[in-house]
Amino acid sequence: QQQVKQSPQSLIVQKGGISIINCAYENTAFDYFPWYQQFPGKGPALLIAIRPDVSEKKEGRFTISFNKSAKQFSLHIMDSQPGDSATYFCAASKRGTASKLTFGTGTRLQVTL
């Protein structure tokens, strides 16, 4: 019940296209859902996050869509650029301080020219 399932494992998108990565969770105690971007040899960098009280959050080209009833959330990268090529991890945590992050398995995104 602690798992966060992420798909696809890898994704190839043409420059200018839309990248969509999906995650699903089972634990209804999760109430914070961040996405992290990781470049090779670097640490995960917080990209955008959402809480269950909203269905969508947009920051620039990055949008999280959240479906509370389905217990699913997704990251949409609009106008994908080669610089977006990285591994993306969804994660979830429960309410409370010092609450650990449970990560998905990651999606390797490649944006081609």
Partner 1 sequence: EPEVTQTPSHQVTQMGQEVILRCVPISNHLYFYWYRQILGQKVEFLVSFYNNEISEKSEIFDDQFSVERPDGSNFTLKIRSTKLEDSAMYFCASSTGTQEQFFGPGTRLTVL
Site for partner 1, rule CB under 8 A:
32, 34, 36, 41-46, 49, 89, 91, 93, 95, 97-106
Nearer to partner 1, 17 or 27 (CB): 27
Nearer to partner 1, 44 or 74 (CB): 44
Nearer to partner 1, 5 or 15 (CB): 5
Shortest separation between residue 46's beta carbon and partner 1, angstroms: 6
Shortest separation between residue 96's beta carbon and partner 1, angstroms: 8
Quick one: which of 35, 21, 6, 44 has its CA closest to 93?
A: 35
Task: Give the C-alpha separation, 44 to 40, whole Å.
Answer: 10
3-state secondary structure (DSSP) of residue 70: coil
Q: Rounded to 5 degrees, what are φ and ψ at 82?
A: -55, -35
Torsion, CA 39, CA 87, CA 48, CA 94, rounded to 10: -110
Shortest separation between residue 108's beta carbon and partner 1, angstroms: 10
